[in-house]
Amino acid sequence: MDDRKAPSAAPRDPVALGIDPDIPSVARIYDYYLGGKENFPCDRAKAEEMIRLVPEAPVAARNNRAFLGRVVHTLATEGVRQFIDIGAGLPTQENVHQIARRVDPAVRTVYVDFDPAVLVHARALLTAEDEAIVVEGDARHPAGIFENPELRAYIDLKRPVAVLLVALTHFLSDEQADALVGYVRRAVPSGSYLVVTQLFPGDDPPEYVEEAAAIYSGTNTGAVVGRGRAHIASWFEGMKVLEPGIVRVESWRPRSRVDDPAWRMDTEIDEGAPGILGAVGRIP
């Protein structure tokens, strides 16, 4: 994590690119947790404030990212050939298309985000034509994402697709998050997958949960909302939820390879403690 101390290398002439370097961005804060350099002083200050309150925040971010990698590998191995990654973020390696295309180079991935810093960064990362596309979209207006002509020219919405809402829904209100999930479920065909990770305040939420929300109120999303298992389960109602169900992200098939039956639950993990829950559902 030494890189986190390094001065930002990012981004070139941000204002001209539509990026406001003075408003902390949840994508750039997350980038800082992951040890990236696509962040500004205001992002680092927010992240450090958060780390003082919750020292395990960077570990949680890495666990979340690792979950995403395991899920994408699992789904690609199961035959999923299209991914829509909403709230894609800034990571520089082990992105969805890279993981999935190791399974099959024909996999198509669309990255969607509303943060100009993410869009600039993601476009710069793509080197080969057609390996993935990046579209601007706001999860609070899912029709704008699924009706986007660029997305529809690239993804066949008559064929199964995995929609990734990973570390996204906690930046939305209950109403917005429910509407997004409902829209996704209607927009994709049977045999598609919904993947969610969501901040969980714990079975017995500690006081710092409210302080953490206050810290994030000064960011570009203006909020972070923890949710419990019952709320997350409501998003998967009627779906087949893949084993091991709705669990902490680090408990989801640790050491997973679908060709490796040795994956197991880690009994050391406290499922009731605050953290990030994840789940994968197959749409009937």
Ligand X SMILES: C[S@@+](CC[C@H](N)C(=O)[O-])C[C@H]1O[C@@H](n2cnc3c(N)ncnc32)[C@H](O)[C@@H]1O
Catalog residues that contact ligand X under the rule CB under 6 A: 26-27, 30, 64-65, 68, 87-89, 91, 113-115, 118, 138-140, 166-168, 171, 221
Q: Please state, in angstroms and rounded to a whole number, the distance separating the CA atoms of residues 166 and 183.
A: 16
Question: Smaller CB distance to ligand X: residue 8 or 158?
Answer: 8
What does the DSSP 8-state code read for residue 267?
T
Query: Residue 68 CB, nearest distance to ligand X (Å)?
Result: 5
Q: Which is nearer to ligand X, 26 or 181 (CB)?
A: 26
Beta-carbon contacts of residue 198 (< 8 Å; ≥ 6 apart): 167, 169, 170, 226, 227, 232, 276, 277, 278
The strand pairing partners of 195, in sequence order, are 164, 280
Selection from 138, 142, 154 nearest residue 194 by Cα? 142
Smallest distance from ligand X to CB 89, Å: 2
In eight-state DSSP terms, residue 81 is -
Count the Cβ atoms, other than its own, within 10 Å of residue 1: 11
The residues that bridge with 162 in the sheet, in sequence order, are 83, 193
| Cβ distance to ligand X smaller for residue 95 or 260 | 95
- What does the alpha-carbon distance between residue 215 and residue 236 come to, in Å, rounded to a whole number? 30
Please, what is the end-to-end C-alpha distance for the chain in angstroms?
42
- By beta-carbon proximity to ligand X, the closer residue of 256 and 260 is 256
- Of 3 and 237, the one with the shorter C-beta distance to ligand X is 3
Of 14, 31, 153, 12, which Cα lies nearest the Cα of 82? 153
Q: Evaluate the CA torsion angle 147, 150, 151, 153 in order and state its sign.
A: positive
Angle at 137 between CA 131 and CA 141, to 5 degrees: 140
User: Least Å distance between CB 121 and ligand X?
Assistant: 10
Distance of closest approach, residue 44 Cβ to ligand X, in angstroms: 15
Minimum CB–partner distance for residue 149 and ligand X (Å): 18
Kindly state the smallest distance separating residue 114's Cβ from ligand X, in Å: 4
Closest CB 27 distance from ligand X, rounded Å: 3
Residue least distant from ligand X (Cβ): 89
Of 103 and 195, nearer to ligand X (C-beta) is: 195
Q: What angle do CA 248, 109, 154 make, to 5 degrees?
A: 145
Which residue lies nearer to ligand X by CB, 23 or 237?
23
